[in-house]
Amino acid sequence: MSSTTTRRKSNTFYVILIAGAAALGGFLFGFDTAVINGAVTAISKAFNANSVQIGLAVSLALLGSAVGAIYAGKIADRYGRVKAMVAASVLFTISAIGSGLPFGIWDFTFWRVLGGLAVGAASVIAPAYIAECSPTHLRGRLGSLQQLAIVVGIFIALLCNYFIAVSAGSAESPFLFGIAAWRWMFWTEIPPAVLYGMSALMIPESPRYLVAQGREPEAANVLTKILGGNVLAKIEEIRQTVLREREPRFSDLLGRNGGLLRIVWIGIGLSVFQQFVGINVIFYYSSVLWRAVGFSEQSSLTITVITGAVNIITTLIAIAFVDKFGRKPLLILGSLGMTLTLGTMATIFGTAQLDAAGNPTLSGSAGIVALLAANLYVFCFGFSWGPVVWVLLGEMFNNKIRGAALSVAAAMQWVANFAISTTFPPILQYFGLGSAYGLYTTAAAISLFFVLFFIKETKGIELEDM
């Protein structure tokens, strides 16, 4: 084996390690948003909270994420990507401790919002850092690590909830040291939150940030480890595109006519469609969903865990193909698949017989078809809109606007997530499951045309040429 091949292999291994450390933020993002799933009922009983208070406890954390996303870009551009990751890790840790120790529903909500700020920050910093530290030929696959980490985080949170609830008997029952099981659900987040901060302190700063700060010798060191070859030419190329006499401002995102740049609108569109197809309804309300169709609590939890596993497998498929097929073909396939599977679910739930309580009852093969359609839908989302949106957001903006544009796009994602999560219970109550899935089907169909007309392929293009 030639020394060049050996060096390239060691460079690739190093890049995977630092991208993996940054993606731990994605793991916590997934874990933190899903951990509430198993604890909701127990918390409402413990604090005698009504549905509005519980709704706010779940959804205000998402608005906290929007705020975290808006400010994370600014913090990352001013103090560096690594310091921003350490700050997010501290917020995750404090939130996990506090969420397990609340005295009432309102201070519980406060700790959840704090965690939301951290989630929002992690959703911006990780894709930017990974895109800035990845060689062009690996950038799609490494960018997909963010989504893989998110879905693994969701899966591990659901598994932890499942084992704690089963061991204790229920989420309200005492678990270790006589402390209620639901409190332990939140405390399981402490070890990964601390690990994230420790990992962030061990990885190098982004070379593009270092060049922007005039710290070119440090940037050269990092680029030698990442790329090898002629790093001085690369530094010159970065210097030309950063054009950083000042920090990026949100005003950089405005065009001559005072409106947002077209590329920023496209980023917002990607973010909003990723949420409007209803993926988080499956993850936030899945156990409620399956119980509404007549499955037992135990079966509902099991189905939720299986869905989480399907999500992980499909994200791995995306990582394998995103640099081969490109970003646009995967999004088109995903939109087609989601339109068909969501349409199937909308039809089944819309035409189902209702029981005395008004819940749909799926008789015969209808239940199996709905279950299959739901998992096929997660499969179609998992290889396309889940990971590819994060890859595109990390790479579609040029160096000058990346921090600010990513902040705006990610914040809109959290606002869209908030809108979908808070409207699902009332739509379910007043219009039924068929109508809810009809809305998500429409969004999936529109997303297909959005990709066809607005998305440009970014596969194989250097960040400096965006």
Question: Which tokens belong to 331?
Answer: 């999004």
Largest CA distance in the chain: 73
For the residues 77-102, what does the mean pLDDT come to?
A: 92
Residue 174: strand pairing partners: 180
> pLDDT digit string (tens) for 360-387?
676 667 777 887 888 899 889 988 998 8
Q: Are 129 and 22 in contact (CB under 8 A)?
A: yes
Question: Which position has the token pair 């690369």?
Answer: 234
d(CA 75, CA 210) in angstroms, rounded, equals 14
What pLDDT score does 150 carry? Answer: 87
CATH 1.20.1250.20 is right for the domain spanning 252-461? yes
What pLDDT score does 10 carry? Answer: 63
Q: What percent of the chain has pLDDT over 90?
A: 22
Residue range(s) in the chain whose domain bears CATH number 1.20.1250.20: 1-203, 252-461
Q: What percent of the chain has pLDDT over 70?
A: 87
> pLDDT digit string (tens) for 121-167?
888 888 888 888 877 777 777 877 887 888 899 889 988 888 888 88
Q: List CB contacts of 280: < 8 A, sequence separation 6 or more.
A: 33, 417, 420, 421
Name the CATH superfamily housing domain 1-203: MFS general substrate transporter like domains (1.20.1250.20)
Please count the residues of the chain. 466
Question: Which tokens belong to 450?
Answer: 């959005």
What pLDDT score does 285 carry? Answer: 62
Q: Does residue 245 carry a pLDDT above 50?
A: no
What pLDDT score does 461 carry? Answer: 65
> pLDDT digit string (tens) for 424-452?
777 877 887 788 889 999 999 999 999 99
Q: Are 438 and 349 in contact (CB under 8 A)?
A: no
Q: Does residue 466 carry a pLDDT above 60?
A: no
> What is the Cα 395 distance to its own chain's centre?
16
Q: Are 17 and 200 in contact (CB under 8 A)?
A: no
Closest CA to 34 of 335, 256, 280: 280
What pLDDT score does 213 carry? Answer: 79
Q: List CB contacts of 311: < 8 A, sequence separation 6 or more.
A: 151, 154, 155, 378, 381, 382, 386
> pLDDT digit string (tens) for 34-65?
888 777 778 888 888 776 777 778 778 888 88
